[in-house]
Structure 1
Amino acid sequence: MEPFEYVVVLTSLILGLGIAQILTGIADIVSHWKAIKLSIPHTIYVFVVFFLHIQEWWINYEYSKVIDVWTLQLVFGILIFPILLFIQARMLFPTGLRSSDTDMDLYFEDQWRWLYSIGAMTVVVSIWHNILITNIPLTEQIQLFVLLVAYLVFVVFNIRNKATHIVFLGLQLAAWIIYIVTEESVL
């Protein structure tokens, strides 16, 4: 077994757990359809976080081409991103003590600052990975800096306007759809 294969098993496991959280949350909503009050920003963010999981799994293959020496510190650095994604996926839906929550608008209003804070952390980690692992210069990461600033503006200024969240998340979803349609890399 190659070092990359050894590491990718763990990252894939964490990403798979995150995807399972998302799919379980969606299944819970579907199975309690009549009792659930859906939320547009919540629903959009579910898709954004799902696409992030798939994109991270896809991008992980690049590491097999750019990393020659695998150290424990490097592996921990790589694991940060999927761990943050898993935490987001876990927090997307009411669980545990909140498992009886049925109003996704109220749930999202209560959770969005945490979700966006973790979203900002994923952007910082992504920039860090791009610089240290794949050698992408800062000048080619402008879109990530814009996303980071947007997350921070929402969190710092506690922007609660639902329409503003819908626009912000809708733009992210549109960007992900464009990425998926236009991405040409192959395994």
Structure 2
Amino acid sequence: MDSFSHIRVIISMILGFGVAQLLKNLVKLIDHPKKSKSVYWLHLGWVFYIFILIVLFWWWEYRLEAIQHWNFLSYLFLIIYTTLYYVLCVLIFPDNVNEYKNYKDYFFSRKNWFFLFQIFLFVIDFGDSLLKGKAYFQSLHWTYPVRNILHIALCFLGIKSSNEKIQAGLFFILLVFDVLFIAQNYLY
């Protein structure tokens, strides 16, 4: 097995654990609605958003096969980067929210961590894109750095604000921007 195959397996396992976390807890809401805390639409929106980010990341990582020379730091970098996605999945949809009134209460109590890990994710994403080579980085057009910088800035706003309307606006802006980004770059 070559270096790329090894890292692909590790990335797929970590991302698979994250997707399983999201799906497992979503199914719990459906399977045991009376045992579940009351559902909060914005929380479920962020669950969907993180799922989309994971799918997009998974798609991007297939470009890693273009990397000819791997070293330990590249492996470590990608494993840490991928682990951030798993952490986001657990933060947005933990196995147990019994100590909270409902998912709204849970979301607002953990929003700072949720947005902070997204900031880490989008800062580190620049390094991931550069790891794939200068030509790849340049092929992403102007929308790529704008996307990441917009995400980082809006996540800082998400940390600062506990206003539900601002939080909903952040969700819709980021979701629409990412859907447009995917359509521009990957639906051809």
Residue identity matched to 2:103: M
The alpha-carbon deviation at position 63 of structure 1 amounts to: 0.7
Q: Equivalent residue for 1:133?
A: 132
Partner of 1:172: 174
> Per-residue deviation at 1:100?
6.1
Distance in 1, Cα, partners of 2:40 & 2:155? 19
Instruction: Give the corresponding residue for 2:57.
Output: 56
Task: Within 5 Å, give how 1:13-162 maps onto structure 2.
Answer: 13-34=13-34, 35-65=36-66, 67-96=67-96, 98-99=97-98, 101=100, 103-135=102-134, 136=137, 140=142, 141-155=145-159, 158-162=160-164
The answer to which of 27-36 and 104-113 deviates more is 27-36
Q: Is the 8 A contact 1:91 1:115 kept in 2?
A: yes
State the SS of the aligned residue for 2:112: helix
**Deviation at residue 146 of structure 1 after TM alignment:** 1.6
The percent of aligned pairs where both chains have the same amino acid is 20
Q: Distance in 2 between matches of 1:59 and 1:94?
A: 26
Give, as a single letter, the amino acid of the residue that structure 1 aligns with 2:178.
W
Paired residue total: 182
SS in 1 for 2:176: helix
1:94, 1:101 within 8 Å by CA — same for their partners in 2?
no
Distance in 2, Cα, partners of 1:101 & 1:30:
19
Measure, in 1, the Cα distance between the counterparts of 2:57 and 2:85: 9
Displacement, 1:46?
Answer: 0.3
Deviation at 1:147? 1.2
Deviations 1:153-178 (A, max 9, x none): 332xx200011111111122223333
Instruction: Name which of structure 1's ranges 129-138 and 164-173 shifts more when overlaid on structure 2.
Output: 129-138
Cα–Cα, structure 1 residues 26 and 55, in superposed 2: closer, same or farther, change >3 Å? same
Preserved CA contact (<8 Å) 1:123 1:148:
yes
TM-score by length of 2: 0.87
Considering only aligned residues, what root-mean-square deviation do their CA atoms show, in Å? Answer: 2.2
Distance 2:120 2:21 in 1: 20
Q: Shift in Å at residue 99 of structure 1?
A: 4.2
Q: Which runs of 5+ in 1 are unaligned?
A: none
| Cα 1:50–1:85 shift into 2, 3 Å | same
Query: Which amino acid in the other structure matches residue 53 of structure 1?
Result: I
Whole-angstrom distance in 1 between the partners of 2:174 and 2:103: 20
Residue 61 of structure 1 aligns to which amino acid in structure 2? Answer: Y
